[in-house]
Chains A and B, each alone.
Chain A
Amino acid sequence: MTAPPERRKRSPLRRPAGPPGKLRRRIGTTARLLAALIVVGGLYTAFSPGMQATADDEVVLSPAAAEGKQLFETSCISCHGRNAQGVPDRGPSLIGVGSAAVEFQVGTGRMPLTSQGAQAERKTPQFTLDQARQIGAYIQALGDGPELPLPGEDLGKGGDVAHGGELFRVNCSSCHAFGAGGGALSSGKSAPTLEESTDREIYAAMLTGPSSMPVFGDNQLTPDEKRDIIAYIQNLQTDPDPGGWGLGRVGPVPEGLAIFLIGMVAIVFTTLWIAGKS
C-alpha cells in the first residue's frame, strides 16, 4: 500500500500497514505537519546560526504543559528529540500526534520505550496518569492532534453493547480476535489482548492507531459508535464465561490441546488401571 509521505512513515520501525480508512486523516495530518514545518523552518532560518533551543520559547505553555515539558525533557528527549521533532533511528517526531497518543503511550507504559522490539509493549507505567496528561498537554501545544474527552465519566457508559459487538466484529476482530484475546500480525507484530484496557485507552487507541493498528477517526467511527465498542469490550472483560473455564478464548487450538492433555491422558490412565500391561 502506498501512503502519502507524512510523519507516520518517518520512523524506521513503522511499516505501511493502515487500511485506506486512514487516508483522510493522514491528509489532514500532513497539512498540519506542513504548517508546523513551515513555522518551525521559518523560525529556524530567522534565528540561526548559533541557536537551537529557543524555538519553543515562542510557544506559550499552560502550567500543565510546562510541567509536561519538564518531564519530556528528562525522559523522552533522548529519543524524540528537542521539541519532540524526532531523532533519526531512535524515535519519531511527535508533532501532531496529539495528547491522546501521549496519554495512551505513557498511560499503558509503552513509553518511555525501554527495549527495541517489533513494537512497543504494554508494561507498568512509569508515570502517573496526571503526568501523562501533562506531557500530553505539552505535545498538544507543540503541534495539535487528536485529543481525548476530558477525564470524568466512563467513556463506555450508556453504550449499546449489541451494536458495539457488531462494530467490534467488523472493525477490530480481524486483529484482536473475537474474544479480544489478541492475535499475531506479520513481521513479529501482534495485536495485544484487550483484557486490561481501560475505556480511555480503548478510545485513544482508536483515535491514534498505535503501531500497525489503523486510525479510526470520527468519520470512520462516530464518538457514539466508539462508545458502543467500548461498552462491548467492557462487557467482554466482565462477562464470566458461561461454559466454564474459557481456555483463554483463543478458539480451537487450546481446545485441541485440552482434549489430548486432559481428556486423552485421563482416559489412557484408566485403561492402564483397568486393563493388563503386558
Chain B
Amino acid sequence: MTPAKTNRRRRLDLAKVPEATAQGIDERFQVATPLRRVFNKVFPDHWSFMLGEIALYSFITLLLTGTFLALFFDPSMAETTYDGSYAPLRGIEMSKAYETSLNISFDVRGGLIMRQMHHWAALLFMAAIVIHMFRIFFTGAFRKPRELNWIIGLSLFWLGLTEGFAGYSLPDDALSGTGLRIADAIVLSIPLVGSWVATSLFGGEFPATEILPRLYILHVFLVPGIILALIVVHIGLVVKQKHTQWPGPGRTNHNVVGIRMFPGFAAKGGGFFMIVFGVIALLGGLLQINPIWLFGPYKTAVVSAGSQPDWYVMFLDGSTRLMPAWDIHIPLGDGYTIPAIFWPTLVLPGLLTVLPMLYPFIEARLRRDKQAHHLLQRPRDVPARTALGAMAIGFYLVLVLSGANDVIAEAFDISLNATTWAGRIGILLVPPIAYYLTYRICLGLQQHDREVLVHGVETGIIRRLPDGRFMEVHQPLAPADAHGHGALDYAGAPVPKKMNRLGAIAPAVRGFFFPIEKPATPALPPAATPVSPAVPPQQLEDAGTQQH
C-alpha cells in the first residue's frame, strides 16, 4: 500500500464534521427534540426587554472578575506590617485582608483593573436591577401569571444589596470598617435579641476577628450561589411563561411575536454581553473606584468625612440621616431602649420588602382582575399605578440624596443643616406631588391619544378659510364617519402622531448612527400636497380632508 492511499482513507471530511457530531450527540443523549423547542422559542424584540439582560451580564462579569480576585485575597484579620510597593503605607500595621487588597491593586499584574471592574460591575448590576424593576412595574409585567417572578426579582435586589455590602466590607480599609461599625449598631438596635445577634455575627465584641472570614464565605459562596439559583429560576420562568409583549398589529394575549431564540436572539444576546462587558472594562480602566489605599487600614479612631456606602445602600444611610434622634424608652425591668436607628434601617427595609412583594396581589384584588395578562400596558393607560410608582421613586430619590447630603452640601455650597431639613420636608412632600403630577400627565397623554384617533394627525399645514380664519389641516388615521371623526378605537399601542410615521411624507431615514438605507424618493411630485390619502380615494371623496 502506498502512503498516499492510507492518507486518503483516513482523511477527515471537514464539511461533514458538524453533522456527524450532532448526529453522534443525539444518538447518545436524544437532545434534538427539546433543543429544537428551545431554539425555536420566540422572544419579542423591544429595547426595554434588554434591561434584565444587563443585570444578567454584569452578574456574569462579577463572577469572572471575582474569581480572579479570590485567587489573591486572604480574608484574615491577622495583623501584619505592610511592605508592598505603595510607599505611603509602607511600615503601617494592617490586617492581612487589607494587605492582600493592596497587593492586588499594586503588585498583582492586572489586579487593579480587575478590582475596579469588579466594583463597577457591582454598581452596574444593582443599577440594572433597579431600572429593570421599574420597567416591570410601569408596564404591568408583574401581573398574573408572573407574580412569582416579581417576588424572585425583589429577592434578587435584596440579595444583590447584601452581596455588595459584604464585598465592600472585605478589604478592611477604613471605609469598610466604618460601614461594618454602622451595621453593628443596626444589629444592636434590634429589640431584645440585638446584642446576642451582634455577638454571634461578629464572634465577639465589634470588630473582633471573625467577621471577615464569615463575610467572605457569604460573599464568594453563599449569596452568589443563591443569586445564581434564583436567576436560573427567574429566567426559566420567563421561558416557561413566555415573555410579555407590547400590544400592536398581530399581537394578542395568546401569541408571541418576535425573533427566534436561534440564531436571532442568541446573536443579539451574545453581542450585547460583549458590549456590557466592554463598558464595564472601560469604566474599570478609566475611572478610579474605591481607592482603598487612600483610606488606610481600619482604625476605630478614624472616621472620615464623606464616608458613604455604595449607591445602592445609600437610601438606607439617607433614611438614618433624616430620622430624628427619637429613642424610645420602655420602663420594663431595668429600663430598655429602642434606638432611633432601628426604624430607618430595619423597619423601613422590612416594609420595602413586604409591600412590593404583595403589590401584584393587592392590585389584582383592587381591580377584581383574575385574568392572565401577556400584553403589557403603556404607563399612561394605568395612571394610578404609574403615579404610585412615581411616588415610590420620589421617596427613594429623596432618601438616596439625603444619603449623599454632605457631599451635596459641599459641592453646591449649601449648609449641611439645610440639606438635612430639605430631606425631612422632601420625604413628606415629594411623593404626593410626584403622584399628583404623574397622574395628571398620564391623563393628558391619554387625552391626546384619543384626540389624534378622532381628529387625525396634525399636518402642520395651515389653511385660510374664505372668511379669513386660519385652520390646521388634520390627516385622519382611518375612514371618518359622517361627522368627519375617525372610527379607530384605542388599542393600547402607540398612536402615530407625526406625518412621517404615516409614510405620508418621506419617512425618516432608518439607521441609528448612520443611514442603513437610501432615503426614498418622495412618491408624490413636489407640487402635490404632502397630505396623502390614508384611505382609498373614493372614500376620501366623501370624507374629505379633515379640517379643524
Contacts and interface: CB of A to CB of B under 8 A. Distances in A.
Interface of A: 118, 161-163, 165-166, 169-170, 173-179, 181-188, 190-191, 232, 235-236, 239, 241-247, 249-260, 262-264, 266-268, 270-278
A243 B112 contact: yes
Nearest to A170: B301
Interface stretch (B123-131, B446-454, B459-467): B123-131
B295 A267 contact: no
B174 A178 contact: yes
B350 interface: no
Tell me what chain A mostly uses at the interface: helix, strand, loop, or mixed: helix
B474 to A, nearest CB: 23
A191 B416 CA distance: 12
Interface stretch (B184-192, B402-410, B431-439): B402-410
A82 B472 CA distance: 77
Contacts of B105: 242-243
Given A118-B415, A169-B174, A246-B291, A273 B513 contact: yes
A162 B416 CA distance: 32
Nearest to B401: A253
18 contacts: A161-B88, A162-B87, A165-B296, A170-B301, A177-B306, A190-B413, A239-B88, A243-B289, A243-B291, A250-B407, A255-B123, A258-B283, A263-B124, A267-B275, A268-B131, A271-B272, A275-B45, A278-B248
Nearest to A260: B127
A118 B248 CA distance: 60
A253 B46 contact: no
Interface string B142-179: 00000000000000000000000000000000110000
A174 B289 CA distance: 20
A176 B287 CA distance: 22
- Number of chain B interface residues as a range: 35 or more
A245 B286 contact: yes
Nearest to A191: B305
A277 B46 contact: yes
A263 B123 contact: yes
B289 A255 contact: yes
Given A256-B312, A263-B123, 15 more contacts: A170-B299, A176-B305, A177-B304, A178-B175, A178-B294, A185-B416, A186-B416, A242-B112, A243-B288, A253-B306, A256-B404, A263-B120, A264-B131, A268-B51, A271-B50
B304 A188 contact: no
Contact of A161 (B87, B174, B272): B87
A170 B304 CA distance: 9
Contacts of B174: 169, 173, 178
Interface stretch (B26-34, B68-76, B89-97, B529-537): B89-97
A268 to B, nearest CB: 7
B415 A188 contact: yes
Interface in B239-286: 246, 248, 268, 271-272, 275-276, 279-280, 283, 285-286
A247 B406 contact: no
A175 B416 CA distance: 13
Contacts of A251: 175, 306-308, 407
B389 interface: no
B302 A170 contact: yes
A163 B512 CA distance: 56
A70 B286 CA distance: 53
B361 interface: no
A115 to B, nearest CB: 12
A20 to B, nearest CB: 15
A249 B294 contact: yes
A3 B271 CA distance: 67
A178 B46 CA distance: 45
A245 B47 contact: no
A278 B294 contact: no
Contacts of B46: 275-278
A252 B175 CA distance: 10
Contacts of A232: 88
A190 B124 contact: no
B371 to A, nearest CB: 24
The list of the 5 closest CB pairs from A to B, nearest first, reads: A256-B311, A183-B305, A243-B288, A188-B415, A184-B409
Contacts of A264: 124, 127-128, 131
Nearest to A161: B88
B348 interface: no
Interface string B405-433: 01101100111111000000000000000
B487 interface: no
B303 interface: yes
A186 B410 CA distance: 11
Most buried by B among A175, A183, A185, A257: A183
Nearest to A241: B288
A186 to B, nearest CB: 6
A259 B124 contact: yes
A191 B307 CA distance: 15
Given A263-B120, A277-B46, A252 B112 contact: no
B316 interface: no
B316 to A, nearest CB: 13
Contacts of A253: 306, 308, 311, 314, 404, 407
Contacts of B91: 162-163
B359 interface: no
Contact of B283 (A262, A272, A273): A262
